[in-house]
A and B are shown apart, each in its own frame.
Chain A
Amino acid sequence: MTRYIVRRLLQAIPLLLVISLILFVLMQNATDPLATMGGRTPTRPEDRARLTRQLGLDKPVYIQYLYWLIGNDWTKVDLDGDGTAETQGKRQGVLRGDFGTSIVQTGRPVTTVIFERLPNTLILMLTAEFVIVLGALLVGIFSALRQYSLFDNILTGILFIGYSMPIFFVALSTMYIFSINFQRWGLPHLPTVGMFDPKIGKTTGQIILHMILPVFSIAFISFAAYSRYIRSTMLEVLGQDYIRTARSKGLPKREITFIHALKNASLPIVTIVGLDLPLLLGGAVVTERIFAWPGMGRLFIDGIDRGDTPVVMGILMLIAVSVVIFQIITDIVYAWLDPRIRFD
């Protein structure tokens, strides 16, 4: 098992290098950090040229990538932007743990920028994922046990509505109903945006209150896919011969459902959860924006909008690495659940 994990980690290294190269080149070509730098006043051409040199954007993309990857402390860079490279470079490069500094939030290290957002996103997304998986398990198993019953059909209908709705619509509608109209009608209402009320401060109660609507919006959309998937997986397992054997042994129904069937059905479920979990780090781009949730999704979109390559690359690499790690964790869970799977 240890050998397997080590092998997988080693295999991930070239993969991550290729991913980072592709993303870096795309990012360099897609955005221009100078475009929005001056705010509303247009940047003067001479300032533009100076900034380009200062940020090292005049270098060919492969040099920029190299600086990003291994740093530039082995060469001289043009720090004052006068056209001659006279200052010793200070960047250490991603391989040595230096993700550079944000272009937009001038001078702040990317890691600081990301890690002040990451907890906000994790608390929102993990809660949502927890609600989704737990609820989908209950609903999926229940509708599998009562296939084509009234309950199953009604639920299928509701879930399908959820599945077909765009998330911004759900987010805005819930906000309109539970925040704005409830307030207008004098009912207890939920807050519209943000993570806490500045007047009260960042208390646990405030965060929970502010999380309700975004969590509901995210869960409502993903719920359908998950519970349908669990339903069909359960149905397939419940039709297997070994379930008939378990029934012929006179085992209680809950033991058949939750041990004999669910343990088998959990294998494909673990796969999709394992694929989804690392993506949670990226945050919910649309939901975070609508509810003004200070998370990774907003940071990411802002970074792309304003050409903040170091921050965007930092986020993307964080996701890429966690995808690799979660794949390995998924495999380990798999081996633990299914005795037929062995890695050595």
Chain B
Amino acid sequence: MSQEQHVFLEVKDLRTRFHTPEGTIYAVNGVSFSLNEGETLAVVGESGCGKSVTMMSILRLIAMPPGKIVSGEVTYRDRKLLELSEDAMEHIRGKEIAMIFQDPMTSLNPVLTIGRQLTETLRTHTPMTPEQCRERAITLLDWVGIPDATKRLYDYPHQFSGGMRQRVMIAMALACTPSLLIADEPTTALDVTIQAQIIELAKRLKQDVGMAMIWITHDLGVVAGMADRVIVMYAGFIVEEADVDDLYDNPLHPYTIALLQALPRADRRREKSLKSIQGAPPNLLAEPVGCPFAPRCEFVQDRCVRENPLLQIVEGKHKAACWVDVKTGGLR
């Protein structure tokens, strides 16, 4: 771990909603967390739990309308991101905080060359000459493991495979050596072999460059290998936050427990079938009164239905939002 535990990104009470014809969607409901220099934070949860919306709200990439960041504060190195002008925000995006996305097949512009898409970040954010930009682009493609980089600058995205495109996306994100990389399910759309390669790449990034990362995923297996700390999200709330080992050894929230039980493990006996979480993900069209997980929770108590528990410290750095002590099954 890095010696200096320096907080450089702090999110406080972030709330994002979408006003759609069907009603208001409460996508993010008061999310607070912080990130230290060089730290890798994993954000896990099932589809639609607000992971991506949280991160896109931080970079203000939410389409507004219909989206709206209702409240909250995002502090990045003394700058309040939600209060910056759009112009000032453009200097943060790509330069200080970069983001890569889930589907590499659609995330690159099909009608522009890879070279152009790689160098435009540099052209925008640095005083480099076109020649220097080109050289930097070649270095980056080399680094992410694309063979014959010099020639491939003139190729178009459709001439690359899915895994290659995600590497290009990573190279693009790294162009200006940002201090934070947000990866929004970067391996979900790829097959397992390619997934492993991309994760390897991310680990190299962490070790060699020391870049801080937020890794959004719904795959707890990926998390174990690379994250320092984990945030578990459900229905737009953070339900548990802990150091990665702590979370696996001692999960405190019933949702986390259920997620871990749904994870296939090599050390578990074959006959024992995987457990799935009963019920459907919550409807986000209304703000929940009680705990949003209560309808699907096997530890549910009366209080859970009436009151939504806040995220609070349970032991050390381990936080959870649950009324129930999962070890005893009674209220905490």
Task: List residues of A whose CB falls within 8 A of some B CB.
Answer: 148, 239-242, 244-253, 255, 259-260, 263-264, 337-340
A240-B106, A339-B156 known; A249-B112 Cβ under 8 A: no
Docked pose: A240 CA to B107 CA in angstroms: 8
Please give me the residue from chain B that is nearest to A263 by CB atom: B111
Asked if A241 and B107 make an inter-chain contact with CB atoms under 8 angstroms apart, the answer reads: yes
Asked if A245 and B93 make an inter-chain contact with CB atoms under 8 angstroms apart, the answer reads: no
Which of B103, B113, B121 has the most C-beta atoms of chain A within 10 angstroms of its own C-beta? B121
Asked if B124 and A244 make an inter-chain contact with CB atoms under 8 angstroms apart, the answer reads: no
Residues of A within 8 A of B103 (CB): 241
Asked if A148 and B65 make an inter-chain contact with CB atoms under 8 angstroms apart, the answer reads: yes
A242-B107, A248-B94 known; A253-B124 Cβ under 8 A: no
Please give me the residue from chain B that is nearest to A338 by CB atom: B111
Asked if B61 and A247 make an inter-chain contact with CB atoms under 8 angstroms apart, the answer reads: yes
Residues of A within 8 A of B318 (CB): none
Residues of B within 8 A of A264 (CB): 109-111
Residues of B within 8 A of A248 (CB): 59, 61, 93-94, 98-99, 101
Q: Smallest Cβ distance from B218 to chain A, in angstroms?
A: 19
Residues of B within 8 A of A250 (CB): 89-95, 121, 124-125
Interfacial residues of chain B within 77-131, with CB under 8 A of chain A in the complex: 86, 89-95, 98-99, 101, 103, 106-113, 120-121, 124-125
B28 at the A/B interface (Cβ < 8 Å)? Answer: no
Asked if A339 and B158 make an inter-chain contact with CB atoms under 8 angstroms apart, the answer reads: yes
Docked pose: A339 CA to B172 CA in angstroms: 21
Asked if A251 and B111 make an inter-chain contact with CB atoms under 8 angstroms apart, the answer reads: no
Docked pose: A251 CA to B109 CA in angstroms: 14
B259 at the A/B interface (Cβ < 8 Å)? Answer: no
Docked pose: A5 CA to B63 CA in angstroms: 43
Asked if A245 and B169 make an inter-chain contact with CB atoms under 8 angstroms apart, the answer reads: yes
Nearest 7 A/B pairs, CB to CB: A250-B94, A250-B93, A249-B94, A241-B106, A242-B109, A339-B156, A248-B99
A263-B112, A338-B111 known; A249-B120 Cβ under 8 A: yes
Docked pose: A206 CA to B101 CA in angstroms: 59
Q: Smallest Cβ distance from B122 to chain A, in angstroms?
A: 10
Q: Smallest Cβ distance from B264 to chain A, in angstroms?
A: 30
- 20 inter-chain pairs at a CB distance below 8 angstroms, sorted by A residue, are A148-B65, A241-B101, A244-B61, A244-B107, A245-B108, A248-B59, A249-B93, A249-B121, A249-B124, A250-B92, A250-B121, A251-B90, A251-B94, A253-B86, A255-B124, A259-B112, A260-B109, A263-B109, A337-B111, A338-B111
Please give me the residue from chain B that is nearest to A339 by CB atom: B156
Docked pose: A245 CA to B98 CA in angstroms: 10
Please give me the residue from chain B that is nearest to A242 by CB atom: B109
Docked pose: A308 CA to B41 CA in angstroms: 81
Residues of A within 8 A of B65 (CB): 148
Which of A242, A244, A250, A337 has the most C-beta atoms of chain B within 10 angstroms of its own C-beta? A250
Q: Smallest Cβ distance from A240 to chain B, in angstroms?
A: 7
Residues of B within 8 A of A239 (CB): 63
Docked pose: A121 CA to B261 CA in angstroms: 76
Please give me the residue from chain B that is nearest to A264 by CB atom: B111
Asked if A339 and B91 make an inter-chain contact with CB atoms under 8 angstroms apart, the answer reads: no
Which of A240, A247, A337, A338 has the most C-beta atoms of chain B within 10 angstroms of its own C-beta? A247
Docked pose: A259 CA to B92 CA in angstroms: 21
Docked pose: A148 CA to B65 CA in angstroms: 9
Asked if B101 and A255 make an inter-chain contact with CB atoms under 8 angstroms apart, the answer reads: no
Among A242, A251, A252, A253, contact of B108 (Cβ-Cβ < 8 Å): A242
Docked pose: A184 CA to B14 CA in angstroms: 66
Docked pose: A190 CA to B124 CA in angstroms: 49
Among B95, B101, B110, B121, contact of A338 (Cβ-Cβ < 8 Å): B110
Residues of B within 8 A of A263 (CB): 109, 111-112
Residues of B within 8 A of A249 (CB): 93-94, 98, 120-121, 124, 172
A249-B121, A259-B112 known; A340-B106 Cβ under 8 A: no
Residues of A within 8 A of B111 (CB): 263-264, 337-339
Contact with A along B143-186 (1 / 0, CB 8 A): 00000000000001010000000000100100000000000000
Beyond the given pairs A242-B109, A245-B101, A249-B93, 16 more chain A to chain B contacts, judged by CB atoms under 8 angstroms and listed by A's residue number, are A239-B63, A244-B107, A245-B107, A247-B93, A248-B59, A248-B101, A249-B98, A250-B93, A250-B124, A259-B112, A260-B109, A264-B111, A339-B113, A339-B156, A340-B110, A340-B156
Which of B63, B91, B93, B109 has the most C-beta atoms of chain A within 10 angstroms of its own C-beta? B109
Docked pose: A340 CA to B160 CA in angstroms: 12
Docked pose: A247 CA to B99 CA in angstroms: 10
Residues of A within 8 A of B113 (CB): 339
Among A242, A259, A338, contact of B106 (Cβ-Cβ < 8 Å): A242
Docked pose: A337 CA to B120 CA in angstroms: 19
